[in-house]
Amino acid sequence: MKGDRLFRIVLWIVAGLFSAMMVFMLASLLKESLPSIKAFGMHFLYGKEWNPVVDKFGLLPFLVGTLITSVLALIISVPFAMSIALFLGMFSKGGFWPKILGYGTDLLAGIPSVIYGFWALFFLVPIVRNFEMKAGIVPYGVGIFTASVVLAIMIIPYISSISKEVIKLVPRDLIEAGLALGATDLEVAKDVVLPYCRSGIVAGILLGFGRALGETMAVTMVIGNSNSLPKSLFAPANTMASVIANEFTEATTTLHLSSLIQIGLWLFILNAIVNVIGMLIIKKMEVK
């Protein structure tokens, strides 16, 4: 009994410390953001101009860049991630190739983001630039589309790994019963496997989306670093994380530094909103 009580106390202490850390982090960001909050108020959220020379700062270009790159990366990555998850979790019987594929996806999750950035600069950017030239688009090479492709590759391992594990939890009897009734592999996957574990799959997709929202280094290297609203999917832009990485060490005025910290505060809030929405969606799916 004493051991059980001590174990519970330790768990409560750890949970309390973690909660306190989150509150302290939010409070610190809010405190350091106060100068820009007082200077710009809510105009900071929809301001389109970012000009440190005249102390004019607005969040909108970076918020738009963050949402576009993250959503586009999710659209690109989900079909690939689900294909890998279904292959490894439902159809794979073991063997050399499934093991290599599984190890490969796990390896991609551990590669530093700067490596993705270097790879994109030397391999992906020239391909995108050639496509833009043939399509009659200004051939930047870098831009939102390039950053989205890099992000998609980076989040595929997170989505596929979680989805694979929840797919493996589907009772084999259900799959075999569907096949015995004459259903095709596609019908079993669509009507049996995915509905059974959809809440877990959504959790994996939300994890990947959160990873895309906060990615910094790889995006900074290939997005073009333009502080204006993007005019197309191939135009240079900036995300909330990339502008902080670019300008934090160069911020010389209190207002400039405070504005960058306020961007970090809103990125924290954006991730929290996405997580809350995700929990509500998962809960609704579980009830059904």
Label residues 220-254 b or e (16+ Cβ within 10 Å = b).
bbbbbbbbeebeeebbbbbbbbbbbbebeeebeee
Spatial distance between the Cα atoms of 111 and 154, rounded to a whole number of angstroms: 9
What residue type is 259 in one-letter code?
Answer: S
Summarised one tens digit per residue, pLDDT across range 33-79 is 999 999 998 889 988 889 888 888 999 999 999 999 999 999 999 99
Give the model's pLDDT for residue 281: 78
Contact between residue 225 and residue 246 where contact means Cβ atoms under 8 Å apart: yes
| Residue 179: how many other CB atoms lie within 10 Å | 14
Percent of the chain with pLDDT over 70: 97
List CB contacts of 252: < 8 A, sequence separation 6 or more. none
Summarised one tens digit per residue, pLDDT across range 145-165 is 999 999 999 999 989 888 888
Q: What is the pTM of this model?
A: 0.88
Tokens of 209: 């989306």
Q: How confident is the model at residue 93 (pLDDT cuts 50, 70, 90)?
A: low
Mean pLDDT of all residues in 118-137 = 91
Summarised one tens digit per residue, pLDDT across range 164-184 is 888 888 888 888 888 788 878
Instruction: Spell out the domains of the chain, with CATH numbers in brackets.
Output: 35-287 (1.10.3720.10)
Q: 44 phi and psi, to 5 degrees?
A: -60, -35
Spatial distance between the Cα atoms of 159 and 137, rounded to a whole number of angstroms: 32
